[in-house]
Amino acid sequence: MKAARTTLRSAGVLGWCLTGALGCTQADEPPWSPQELRVIFSLSPPPTLAPSPGNRVADDDRAAQLGRHLFFDKGLSSNGQVACASCHDPIRHFTDGRQRARGVADTARNAPTIIGAPNAPFLFHDGRKDSLWAQALGPLENDAEHAFDRTAAVHHVAAHHRARYEAVFGPMPTAAELAALPAHARPRPLDSRHPQARAWAAMTELQRATVTRVFVHLGKAIEAYERKLVPLPGRFDRYVAALRTRDPSAAQVLSAQERRGLRAFIGVGGCVNCHNGPALSDQGFHNLGLPAAQGVVGVDGGRSVGADQVRRDEFRCGTVWSDATPTTAACQELRFLNPLFEDFLGAFKTPSLRNVARTAPYMHAGQFATLEEVVRFYQTLPGRAQVGHREWTLRPLPGSVVAADLVAFLQTLTGPLPDARWLGPGG
Partner 1 sequence: MQDIAPAPLASVGGPAPPAAAAPLPGTPLELGGRSKAGTYQLTLRMTVPQVSELFAAEVRVSLASGAALPDGTTVTVDATMPDHRHGMMTQPVTAAVGPGQWRADGLKLHMQGHWVFAVDVRGPAGYDRLDLPFEQPPEAAAP
- Provide the binding-site residues for partner 1, judged by CB under 8 A: 1, 4, 33-35, 38-39, 42, 47-50, 119, 272-274, 276-279, 282-285, 329, 332-333, 335-338, 341-344, 391-393
CA–CA gap between residue 275 and residue 286 (Å, rounded): 11
Q: Which of 1, 50, 38 is nearest to 272 (CA)?
A: 38
**In the complex, minimum distance from the CB of residue 19 to partner 1, in angstroms, rounded to a whole number:** 18
C-beta of 77: minimal distance to partner 1 in Å?
32
Q: Which of helix, strand or coil describes residue 140?
A: helix
Give strand pairing partners of 349: 285
> Smaller CB distance to partner 1: residue 16 or 341?
341
Q: In whole angstroms, how close is the CB of 218 to partner 1 at the nearest point?
A: 24
Contact 49, 229 (CB under 8 A): no
CB of 380 to partner 1, least distance (A): 21
Q: What's the sign of the alpha-carbon dihedral 42, 43, 49, 52?
A: positive
Of the two residues 310 and 360, which places its CB atom closer to partner 1 in the complex?
Answer: 310
Give the nearer residue to partner 1 in terms of CB position, either 308 or 333.
333
- Least separation in angstroms between residue 43's CB and partner 1 is 8
What's the closest the beta carbon of residue 390 comes to partner 1, in angstroms? 11
What's the CA gap between 54 and 195, in Å, rounded?
32
Helix axes 162-169, 61-71, angle to 10 degrees: 150
Q: Which is nearer to partner 1, 303 or 358 (CB)?
A: 303
Closer to partner 1 by CB, 304 or 386: give it: 304
Residue closer to partner 1 by CB (options 247, 333) is: 333
Cα-Cα end-to-end distance for the chain: 53
List all residues 6 or more positions away from 185 whose beta carbon is below 8 Å from its beta carbon.
149, 150, 151, 196, 199, 200, 202, 203, 211
Task: Tell me the C-alpha distance between 246 and 11, whole Å.
Answer: 8
408 torsion bin: left (phi>0), alpha (psi -120 to 50), beta (else): alpha
Q: How far is the CB of 394 from partner 1 (least distance, A)?
A: 10
Nearer to partner 1, 182 or 301 (CB): 301
